[in-house]
């Protein structure tokens, strides 16, 4: 049987501090994307507000599922998003803080 590469897609939430500004995004490479956010590679909302803390993420096999979840979650009330984060990460720790890969090694 031939090997089939399985793609993964990620929905993620960034913040700048505990109960701070929130940003929801999707990517197919969470480690690369976190490198970009932490190093402010791209202009825009996340750079303007200093959103560098990965406080939550979900994994999806299909990109359409990640997009659907992102669009849905962006309609949520802020408190619902906070509740979701705090179910898994009550202290809003940076989930990417300990990552040591080619992207994050500066």
* Any domain includes 106: no
Instruction: Provide the pLDDT for residue 102.
Output: 59
Instruction: Provide the pLDDT for residue 3.
Output: 56
Instruction: Note the pLDDT tens digit of each residue in 59-87.
Output: 999 999 999 999 999 999 999 999 999 99
At residue 25, the 3 state secondary structure works out as strand
pTM: 0.88
* Any domain includes 3: no
Which structural domain range is residue 67 located in? 9-88
List of the chain residues with pLDDT < 50:
1, 104-106
Residue in this structure with the two tokens 């406080």, named with its chain if needed: 55
Number of structural domains found in the chain: 1
Contact 12, 26 (CB under 8 A): yes
CATH number of the domain that residue 16 is part of: 3.40.1440.10
* Any domain includes 34: yes
Instruction: Provide the pLDDT for residue 98.
Output: 84
* Any domain includes 105: no
Instruction: Provide the pLDDT for residue 99.
Output: 78
């Amino acid at each position: 049987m031939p090997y089939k590469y399985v793609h993964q897609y990620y929905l993620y939430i960034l913040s700048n501090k505990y109960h701070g500004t929130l940003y929801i995004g999707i990517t197919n490479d969470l480690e690369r994307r976190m490198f970009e956010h932490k190093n402010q590679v791209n202009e825009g909302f996340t750079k303007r507000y200093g959103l560098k803390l990965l406080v939550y993420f979900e994994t999806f096999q299909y990109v359409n599922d990640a997009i659907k979840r992102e669009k849905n979650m962006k309609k949520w009330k802020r408190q619902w998003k906070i509740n979701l984060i705090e179910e898994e990460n009550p202290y809003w720790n940076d989930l990417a803080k300990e990552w040591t890969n080619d992207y994050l090694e500066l």
